[in-house]
Amino acid sequence: MSIGQAISRLDGSRKVTGRAKYTADVEVEGALHAVLVPSTVPSGTIAAIDAAPAEDAPGVVRVFTHLNTPKLAEMTNPPAGQTIMPLQGDRIFYEGQPVAMVIADTLERATEAARRVQVTYRNEPFATDFIAGLDRAEARPLFGLPPDSSVGDIEAALSGTNVRVESVYGTADRHHNPMEPAAVTALWQDGRLEVYDAVQGVVDTRNTLALALQMEPQNIRVRNDFVGGGFGCKGWLWPHEVLAALAARELSRPVKLVLTRAQSYTSHGYQPASRQTVTLAARSDGALTGIRHQSVLAGSLSGDHVEPSGWGTPALYASPATQATHRVVRLNRGNPTPMRAPLEGVGLIAVEIAMDELAYELGIDPLALRLRNYTEIDPAEGKPFSSKKLRECYAEGARRFGWSSRTVEPRSMRDGRNLIGQGMATALFRTFRSPAKVRIGLDQSGEVLIETSTQEIGTGVYTIFPQIAADVLQMPVERVSLSLGDTNLPESPMNAGSRATLSTGSAVQDAAAKLKAKLAEAGATTPDGYAEAVARQGVDRIEAEGDWTPPEEATHAMYSFGAIFAEVGVDEDIPIPRVRRVVGVYNAGRIINPKTARSQMTGGVVWGIGQALLEKSEMDQQHGRFLSKNLAGYLVPVNADVPEIDVSFVDDFDEHVGPLGARGIGELGAIGVGAAIANAVFHATGIRVREVPIRPEHLLAMAQSSY
DSSP state of 42: S
CA 412, 415, 419, 425 dihedral sign is negative
**Rg of the Cα atoms in the chain:** 26
CA-nearest of 424, 359, 420, 356 to 684 is 420
Q: Can you tell me whether residue 324 is helix, strand or coil?
A: strand
- Out of 112, 352, 456, 667, the active site residue is 667
Q: Is-catalytic flag, 112?
A: no
- CA–chain centroid gap for 569, Å, is 29
CA 261, 265, 266, 269 dihedral sign is positive
- CA–chain centroid gap for 638, Å, is 20
Cis omega (within 30 of 0) on the bond before 341? yes
Q: What is the Cα–Cα distance from 318 to 309, expressed in whole angstroms? A: 19
CB atoms within 10 A of CB 8: 12
CA-nearest of 74, 94, 101 to 302 is 94
Backbone angles phi, psi at 345, to 5 degrees: -60, -30
Contacts of 207 (CB under 8 A, 6+ apart): 79, 217
CA 673, 677, 678, 679 dihedral sign is positive
Q: What is the Cα–Cα distance from 631 to 642, expressed in whole angstroms? A: 17
Sheet holding 192-197, edge to edge: 60-65, 98-104, 32-38, 255-258, 183-189, 192-197, 220-223
Q: At what angle do helices 673-685 and 594-613 cross, to 10 degrees?
A: 50
Q: What is the Cα–Cα distance from 361 to 126, expressed in whole angstroms? A: 43
CA-nearest of 178, 501, 163 to 360 is 163
Residue 375: Cβ-neighbour burial (10 angstroms; 0-12, 13-18, 19+): middle
571 DSSP β-pair partners: 418
Q: What is the Cα–Cα distance from 662 to 671, expressed in whole angstroms? A: 19
C-alpha count within 13 angstroms, C-beta hemisphere, residue 605? 30
Residue 633: Cβ-neighbour burial (10 angstroms; 0-12, 13-18, 19+): exposed
| Residues tagged active-site | 667
